[in-house]
A and B are shown apart, each in its own frame.
Chain A
Amino acid sequence: MSGAMSSFFILSPRGDTIISRDFRGDSLPNAAELLFRKVKFWDKGDAPPVFHLDGLNFVYVRKNGLLFGATTRFNVSPSTTVELLNRMAKVFKDYCGVLSEESIRKNFILVYELLDEMMDFGYAQATSTESLKNHVYNEPIVVESAKSNLRMPKINSKTTPSTAVHKPITISAQSGGKQKNEIFVDILERLNVLFSGSGYIINSTIDGCIQMKSYLSGNPELKLALNSDLVIGKGGGGYGAVVLDDCNFHECVRLDEFESSRTLSFFPPDGEFILLNYRITGEFRAPFRIFPTVDEVSPYKVEMTLMIRADIPESNYGANVQVRVPMPRSAIATSEYNASEKRVVWNIKKFPGATEQTLSIKITLAGGGVGGSSTSSSGGSLVNSGSTGSMSAGGTAPPPGQLIGSARKEIGPVSMSFEIPMYNVSNLQVRYLRISEQQKSYNPYRWVRYVTQASSFVCRVGTGSER
């Protein structure tokens, strides 16, 4: 079952309409506003990406703070619509260089042009970056990539959009000569690990992908070889083999040699794309181990010690490590304690492999009269390795035993975010990346990087009685 989009729009984080295109004249004039309001004031939690309102179906995705929304009156496939919106966002990013409010605003004519080639009467047409090149004439206006210190370094911090060359008509010669022939390959693994309070692993998965960004001229055919002993499907493989539960491929990939030699051949499309997605649920060594302990020192004091061990080689390190520990609701304190979010945030710029770091947190719970919060906490600074911080929690005053009991339940779970450059947990390797036979003379720069990232790295804090 299929059907057309009625309209499409891009909204800024504040809800301004940056781009709006009506395909069929059967949407609502205020659809963009309706969507934004509904998303902002959804009654329970986050608004789902698909919902129905006033006879109109809304589908939206969020990208870099922007909302890409579509409306339809047909009973469409929700997944296809979501994928289409994702694809549009990707194409805009490829053409504009970065995806941000500023870049879309500056390139709005280009975006409209792209949109008109990608969609006709609400149906998807050609949506691949390179096939669009033949039909798109506007030049991108380059926007400096916004500094985002939270994210890991994305493949390119390049400001040149991938499509600044090969424009049939309008492109001037000046940028043509400068183009470097290069291709970036990232093996990116996002870890989901859940530790119980006593330190054993309850659940662990790796969501991995091989992401590429090609700046190769002439789209030569490439061959990328993975570990030759790679096994796909759980339960297979000998000792030391990399076992993927399952994987899927970009549509450009041909799998003729995959079964025999674990080699993928493909013509890289322009721009950023994910060559391969894979998933591993087998055993692996978590790069960090978290050991929390909570002691009740006195009826009003809880002491928490958090020991973190880096189980990675000395040559590697965890970068931008952040550990977050939720604290009891009524806590008030200083320094690393974020009062509005009720949690301690511990930042470690660089966490060398094969080392340990310890944080201890002293939590004072207020007893006595109502609101008698002993805010005279000695605002200890939280520095890593053995230093201590303290805080006090105020609030109404139930009997001490119960206070500690319920406060303890509110501590944790500890969540951790990090990235480990040049390290991957699964041991999946790119053996080689080659241009296939015919074009031997061609020798581009090939950049291969490995990155391990925390997706959901969580340790529960034992409450003693549990498990």
Chain B
Amino acid sequence: MSAPLPQSRQSHPSTLPGQHQQQNPPAYFVDTKKGEVSELKQLLKTLAVERDPKRKRDVIKKVIAYMTLGIDVSRLFTEMVLAIETRDLVVKKMVYLYLCNYAHAKPDLALMCVNTLQRDCSADDPMVRGLALRALCSLRLPSMLEYISAPLRRALTDQSPYVRKTGVMGILKLFHLAPDVARSANFVDLLYNMIQDPDPHVVTNCLIVLGEMLAAEEGGMAVNQPLILHLLGRLGEFNEWGLTQILALVAKYHPADEEELFTIMNLLDPVLRTSNSGVVLSTIKCFLHLATAVPDLQPQVYLRVKAPLLTLMAGGNPEVEYCILKHLEAMVHRAPGVFDDEYRQLYVRYNEPTFVKYEKIDILAIIANEETVGDIVAELAEYATDVDQEVSRRSIRAIGNIAFRLPSAAGMILERLVGFLDVDMNSIRPETILVMRDILRRYPERKAEALPRLQSCMRRVDNHPEAQAALIWMTGEYGGKNFPEGPYLLEPLIDSYATISSALVKLSLLTAAIKLFFKRPPEMQSMLGRLLAAATNDLTSQDVHDRALLYYRLLVADVEAAKRVVLGEHEVDVNRTTIVGTFAEERDMTTLRDKLFGEFNTLAVIYGKPSSQFVSPSYRIKPAETSLTPFMMGVQIGDSGNNGNNLLDLHADDSLLPAGGVECGVESESPSRAGSTNPEGSTAYTGPSSDLLDMSDMGVSLAVPTDRITTPSASQQDFCTSTLALIDSFRMEPETFQHLWAELPESISYNVDLKVLPTDGLSTLETSLLSRGIKCLASGELTDVFKLFLYGQHELGRLYLIQILIHKLSKRLNLTLKIGRSEMESEGDDGKDRSANAVVELITQVLSSLHLS
């Protein structure tokens, strides 16, 4: 604050009436300030005698002005305390403001004003009572404690709502000053009673104060049916800030039955038409929370909130728009397809702040589908030439992301990107190259279209090492049969090795050269030799030197071994059929997104981080309460005996399970995970996994199954089977699967007609199933049928083996389920049937969540 001060200080006195203006050079400024403060002190002293109300106001105003500018006027404390004796409310308010600002600097002097404040707390004018109480509580002085309690208690039963609401807030201030005093004084119970107060402001403050006082220990207020119904019944009385408080409570409430749930939703529906975005988002949070109990309702909720969100965005306030876009992004991931048709609303406007533009571009990439992809990519391509480099970079990246998601558009997109390579502007070319590299990683079969065009770029990205490295990598990776020019693309670089400054480029050059060497030895041999010679003598980078040496020694020792090391297995096994499901980073995001979704309408969504990462412990709400986010809904319903919808529980647990783990056909089991598997099918719920998952702040849900296991009563067993809790860490070898499949009888066979075939192969389906604990052993696409072999293990050890066939022509899905009993289980076909049905239901649920059926 120090830098801008001189300016403002000079300009400020002119705004104060009745004072002469001094334009001193800055060098004398310190003296001037001292002089002026002394002058004020003198003025204040004479005022006490003079009693001219207008003059008094002006002088005190000047004191406050100095205070605002950061000038220390605490020297005037004594005089200001004397000025408190006045009937002029304007002066009183200013003096209170002063007191609250400097009381902690002059605690002894502050005691001088206690008498006046206490007397004012009993004044006739409710305004004065309120003001005095507010000031008294805001002094933040422990020595004041004994004087606060009595007026505070009186205030809570004051006739005036203004005094009551100030009193309620006073309790919170007292709580921060001396938590034990506030607790022992039984204020919490008092506040719970005051929620019945006729004045909505008083009620709002009660909710605020209880929420904050109980946050650390009980995770906020306790919610029950009468409370919620009482508040919802009075909804119309509250202003928007009161509404957000109430809505926050509703978002923690679990309705007793579906009827109540719909009653609440109907009550809240009109609130979606409010023009306050904070209120609307709070309402949406309630809706999403309530809808977790009835999965069928979820798509409807998204549809319902779509229009209000877009209208709020159109309100012409970029800050509001930004917050909504961030939440929209979170929802778009959750509800694929819902926002697709409104993609034009996300087109960038030329005069928007860039924080809005960036967000829109990112969302466009997520909502593009088969029908809109042409329009969206064409639009994004326009942004690629934007003057803002980040807009340009993001658009190109977004186009690449679309290609990732929509294989059918990959060809068109690649063509578009190749076109960008000719544009000589900003960072278009380097970014395009980076994106093309990633697309080729995903669709290696497209290399023939892209590679020839890269040739001309090599020299044009000299100043962008990352892009150049990507080009070199592509040359090395794909420069085999289809791209005979490969070696000659590298040659000029190898020959001008000395001029390359970036270690990154050198490293990729080394790797690319050796890879190409194995593919086209005659052309590369001499080049590689020159390169290795140059690089082993390169003293600028240890990494380059070491890698060159490693390659050299490998080649000297055993060329065949070198080939295996360098090219790895994927080159050996050219005809692999399984597709890598999702890229690793995508997968981690799913878990994070689930976490963030639990913190809907908070800063966590804006930052893209769970609140535990940026909120210091003393400001957090107790984790136990966090688990009462929508995810835990189902458990509650299940507990209350409403087993009609028995998959709810599963849903609740699964959203917390990591989506990580084994991909179909790819072995990626980490040792720690392997240690926690239970091939014998014992019932122990794998404790360590809860740490692995880093779920500590979401906690509880993982603790629930553990509880169940420690007291395995009959009813609980029943509960478990009906809700199908699958063990995440379970793994099965293909041999075991084959063996069991041959051995076991068929439990159930089930047919369902799909609306559409899975668009992106089977990866989305597999990922979704995996997130529910059903793993894929193998999958593949034949000419007329998709085939999946899936398995899962129940907590109690029961094994599920599933075969799914999707006939392309008839779109009919045929599911065959076999159940392997664990030795722990007693006989009982009854339970088996039920769990078979649960599995089928689970899978149909996944299908419908993907809009397949």
What is A's interface to B at a CB cutoff of 8 Å? 1-4, 12, 14-20, 22, 24-25, 29-30, 32-33, 44-50, 52, 55, 57, 60-62, 73-86, 105-106, 108-109, 112-113, 116, 120-121, 123-128, 135, 137-138, 169-170, 190, 192, 194, 202-203, 205, 207, 209, 233, 245-251, 255, 274, 277-279, 281, 326, 398, 402, 405-406, 409-410, 413, 415, 455-456, 458, 460, 466-467
Contact = CB atoms under 8 A, between A and B. Distances in A.
Given A203-B347, A279-B311, A73 B619 contact: yes
Interface stretch (B205-213, B438-446, B631-639, B723-731): B205-213
A44 B427 CA distance: 14
Contact of A77 (B239, B281, B354): B281
B828 interface: no
A411 to B, nearest CB: 11
A247 B15 CA distance: 44
Interface string B345-359: 101011111110110
A398 B422 CA distance: 13
B169 A123 contact: yes
Interface stretch (B41-49, B142-150, B312-320, B543-551): B312-320
Interface string B116-159: 00000000000100000010001010000000000000000000
A106 B15 contact: yes
Nearest to B620: A75
A77 B601 contact: yes
B90 A138 contact: yes
B211 A17 contact: no
Nearest to B385: A409
B358 A83 contact: no
A113 B97 CA distance: 9
Given A78-B602, A202-B347, A246-B307, 17 more contacts: A1-B599, A17-B1, A77-B281, A79-B323, A80-B279, A83-B240, A105-B11, A109-B94, A120-B165, A121-B169, A125-B205, A202-B344, A205-B344, A207-B316, A248-B280, A251-B240, A279-B314
B709 interface: no
Interface string B506-549: 00000000000000000000000000000000000000000000
Given A120-B169, A467-B378, A108 B65 contact: yes
Contacts of B351: 415, 455-456
A415 B89 contact: no
Nearest to B318: A49
B603 A83 contact: no
A41 to B, nearest CB: 14
Contacts of A406: 423-425
Contact of B606 (A25, A50, A113): A50
A170 to B, nearest CB: 7
B277 interface: yes
B166 interface: yes
Q: Which of A105, A125, A233 has the most CB of B within 10 A?
A: A125
Contact of A277 (B314, B611, B619): B314
A459 to B, nearest CB: 11
Contacts, number: 279
Complex A-B, nearest 6 residue pairs according to Cβ-Cβ distance, in ascending order: A45-B354, A80-B278, A456-B349, A246-B307, A124-B241, A49-B319
Nearest to A204: B344
25 contacts: A1-B599, A1-B602, A2-B211, A25-B104, A33-B1, A33-B3, A46-B354, A48-B606, A50-B323, A75-B611, A75-B614, A83-B240, A105-B11, A105-B12, A108-B64, A121-B172, A126-B201, A202-B344, A209-B315, A251-B274, A326-B387, A455-B349, A455-B351, A458-B349, A466-B378
Nearest to A232: B307
Contacts of B349: 192, 455-456, 458
A127 B279 CA distance: 15
A77 B616 contact: no
Interface of B: 1, 3-5, 7-8, 11-12, 15, 61, 64-65, 68-70, 89-90, 93-94, 97, 101, 104, 127, 134, 138, 140, 162, 165-166, 169, 172-173, 176, 201, 205, 208, 211-212, 239-241, 244-245, 248, 270, 273-282, 307-308, 310-312, 314-320, 322-324, 326-327, 344-345, 347, 349-355, 357-358, 378-379, 382, 385, 387-388, 390-391, 422-425, 599, 601-607, 611, 614-616, 619-621
B601 A1 contact: yes
B8 A12 contact: yes
Given A2-B244, A74-B619, A245-B311, A137 B93 contact: yes
A249 B308 CA distance: 11
B89 A137 contact: yes
B1 A75 contact: no
A142 to B, nearest CB: 13
Contact of B173 (A33, A105, A109, A121): A121
A271 to B, nearest CB: 15
Contacts of B316: 190, 207, 455
Q: Which of B208, B314, B320, B604 has the most CB of A within 10 A?
A: B314
A350 B53 CA distance: 54
Contact of A278 (B138, B172, B311): B311
Q: Which of B89, B127, B169 has the most CB of A within 10 A?
A: B89
B3 A75 contact: no
B70 A17 contact: yes
B245 A2 contact: yes
B248 A2 contact: yes
B320 A79 contact: yes
B7 A16 contact: yes
Q: Which of B277, B280, B323 has the most CB of A within 10 A?
A: B323
Contacts of B324: 79
A25 to B, nearest CB: 6
Contacts of B278: 77, 79-84
Nearest to A23: B138
A194 B208 CA distance: 46
Contacts of B101: 22
Contact of B15 (A105, A126, A202, A466): A105
A245 B65 CA distance: 49
A190 to B, nearest CB: 6
Nearest to A34: B1
Given A137-B89, A169-B89, A207-B314, A20 B621 contact: no
B615 A16 contact: no
A235 to B, nearest CB: 12
B374 to A, nearest CB: 10
A52 B244 contact: no
Given A48-B322, A77-B601, A84 B354 contact: no
Given A49-B323, A135-B162, A246-B311, A73 B615 contact: yes
Contact of B423 (A24, A109, A169, A409): A409
Contact of B275 (A138, A170, A277): A277
Nearest to B352: A456
A120 B273 contact: no
A186 to B, nearest CB: 14
A104 B615 CA distance: 33
A79 B277 contact: yes
A170 B169 CA distance: 28
Contacts of A135: 127, 162
Contacts of A24: 176
B315 to A, nearest CB: 6
A15 B4 contact: yes
B308 A246 contact: yes
Contact of A274 (B12, B275, B425): B275
A75 B603 contact: yes
A17 B11 CA distance: 13
